């Protein structure tokens, strides 16, 4: 296959996935980001691996472009300290417990929706009464998808398509809010 044909098929498939994004969930995301900004609330965001990179990118864009108080849990010394003290499965839930308040929002990103540290932090956020927004993919029955106020699920088992879709949804929301 020629490289240009591969790229066109890749983009077409990604576009078909993006066309399946739930309009109501996107509207809910926009309204909640507006509420966070208007009421000067805090937004925390986290993920693992590529999803952690997305979380870092989005935290910076939300703070810089929209003046939303958005922080991510990607500091290496924070991760290693909490993992050492509480175990990797509990490091993120321990951060949520120690850093977040009931009024705060939390975005969790997990391609599979099954990462133990992400699930445990979702449970801690719900226990605290926080507002939770989730991004996942792979199986429609993944446990993360069941936990949020807003849940974006990508019908793909490819990390690259799931992560690209998550990033595009979040960047699109930021660009929409910058214009409105």
**Mean pLDDT, rounded, for 14-31:** 97
Confidence check: pLDDT of 39 > 90: yes
- The overall average pLDDT reported for the chain is 97
**Is the pLDDT assigned to residue 29 strictly greater than 80?**
yes
Q: Cβ(83)–Cβ(91) under 8 Å?
A: yes
pLDDT at 4: 82
The mean pLDDT value for 14-22 works out to: 96
This prediction has a pTM of: 0.96
**Confidence class for position 117, pLDDT limits 50, 70, 90:** very high
1, pLDDT greater than 80:
no
pLDDT at 13 over 80: yes
pLDDT given for residue 173 in this prediction:
98
Place of tokens 């693992």: 48
Strand partners, 134: 108, 151
Cβ-proximal residues to 91 (8 Å cutoff; 6+ apart), any chain = 79, 82, 83, 117
Check whether 133 has a pLDDT greater than 80: yes
Confidence of residue 152 (pLDDT cuts 50, 70, 90): very high
Q: Which residue has the tokens 């936990």?
A: 147
CA distance 78 to 115: 19
pLDDT at 2: 80
């Amino acid at each position: 296959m020629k490289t240009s044909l591969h790229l066109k098929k890749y983009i077409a498939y990604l576009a078909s996935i993006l066309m399946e994004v739930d309009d109501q969930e996107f509207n809910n995301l926009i309204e909640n980001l507006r509420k966070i900004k208007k009421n000067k609330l805090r937004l925390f965001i986290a993920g693992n691996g590529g999803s952690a990179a997305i979380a870092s990118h989005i935290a910076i864009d939300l703070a810089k472009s929209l003046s939303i108080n958005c922080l991510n849990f990607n500091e290496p010394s924070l991760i290693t300290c909490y993992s050492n003290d509480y175990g990797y499965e509990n490091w993120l839930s321990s951060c949520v417990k120690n850093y977040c308040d009931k009024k705060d929002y939390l975005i969790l990103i997990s391609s599979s929706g099954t990462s133990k540290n992400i699930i445990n932090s979702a449970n801690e956020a719900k226990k605290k009464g926080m507002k939770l927004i989730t991004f996942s993919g792979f199986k429609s029955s993944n446990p993360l998808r069941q936990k949020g106020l807003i849940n974006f699920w990508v019908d793909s088992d490819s990390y690259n398509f799931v992560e690209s879709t998550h990033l595009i949804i979040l960047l699109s929301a930021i660009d929409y809010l910058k214009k409105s």
